[in-house]
A = this chain, B = another copy of it.
Amino acid sequence: MLKPTSELGSMACPISVERYPTVTLAHGDGGRLTHELIEGVFHRAFGNTHLHRAHDGAVVDVPGRRVAFTTDSYVVRPLFFPGGDIGSLAVHGTVNDLAMCGARPRYLSASFLLEEGFSMETLWRVVRSMAAAAEAADVEVVTGDTKVVDHGKGDGVYINTAGVGVLEHDVDIHPGAVGDGDVVLLSGDPGRHGLAVLTAREELSFEHEISSDAASVAEPVLGLLAAGLEVHCLRDITRGGLATGLVEIAETAGVSIEIEEKAVPVTPVVRGGCELLGLDPLYLASEGRFVAVVAEADAGAALQVMRGYEISRDAQRIGRVLRDPRSGVCLRTALGTSRVLERLAGASLPRIC
């Protein structure tokens, strides 16, 4: 390891920005400059023995016979927003997808799609942020790739991360496992990520800055599993928000889910922002919030476990799964009326992750 991540601090870009102020096409042709970029920037930030073997892939140990495998590409704009950036998001998003499978996140890949002319300093800032997020989430970036596309054929930087996690418990967590009588828990206030990115993009300002909730939720998930609680489904509520996530679970499981609007802990700041902008907080993305659908008998214990972790200290019981031939999601409003929630449609907020 060249340098432990935590020592990167605010270290200056290891590539001479006088010589290469921006990324050039030759940084992606597989030759000398590609080598300098990989060694100077990526290996410096993510340094570990896997990367330093300079091989086409990494060979990693997986105790246990089952692994979780997931992927996500990140295209968020702006690259930096209150509470995060494309680099930290690319770690948290994929770590969380592994956690949603009931796995301990272990290894990430990182593939950078760079546009000719992208600032080398900004790239370094993004990569440093990724390295810090990976260290905090206790995962290693073990393999990667770099491509450069012509100016005008990209947008600075896009990042893909794939992830491998290890199933340590004999669990089978997926939407189809949800059943009648289950209880729906939400790990915290929804919607801050989507609103933070949107306000940063549009340069809106509110009295209170809205900061993204993006973070790893692996710890409370592993806590639930270690406690032996009967978790049927986990879902991080990213694109499409809480409402779309619940609709997907309900349709896949063929069940009906009833949510109490007043139990969903939307913060006053998010509620106010949504009212001003005409948005519905139930459809705004979070990147550090998840839904756990658990057996009714374990709901109280599960809530207690979740509240024991800082990231999910405001967890709430928000609804339940009902026997109903019409699969779908029904919201019982604060006024006592009901409305059916559909998937997000129409008013889209593109590129929030």
Contact = CB atoms under 8 A, between A and B. Distances in A.
A103 interface: yes
Number of copies: 2
Contact of A147 (B60, B73, B174): B73
A144 interface: yes
A238 B154 contact: no
Contacts of A54: 174-175, 248, 252
Interface in A153-173: 153-155, 158, 160, 162-165, 167, 172
A238 B30 contact: yes
Nearest to A237: B30
Given A58-B68, A143-B71, A145-B71, A111 B154 contact: no
| Interface size classification for chain A | 35 or more
A305 interface: no
Interface stretch (A224-232, A308-316, A329-337, A344-352): A344-352
Contacts of A342: 32
Contacts of A172: 59
A111 B160 contact: yes
Secondary structure class of chain A's binding surface, majority of residues: mixed
A344 B164 CA distance: 33
Interface string A89-103: 000000011101111
Given A69-B58, A109-B71, A343 B155 contact: no
A45 interface: no
Contacts of A175: 53-55
5 contacts: A31-B343, A57-B100, A59-B101, A59-B102, A75-B113
A303 B307 CA distance: 61
A284 to B, nearest CB: 11
A239 interface: yes
A252 B113 contact: no
Interface string A108-125: 011111000000000000
A25 B113 CA distance: 20
Nearest to A99: B56
Contacts of A346: 26, 31
B32 A71 contact: no
Nearest to A54: B252
A70 B32 contact: no
A103 B59 contact: yes
Contacts of A58: 68-70, 101
A25 B350 contact: yes
Contacts of A142: 69
A28 interface: yes
A163 B163 CA distance: 10
A66 B70 contact: no
Contact of A69 (B31, B152, B164, B234): B164
Contacts of A238: 30
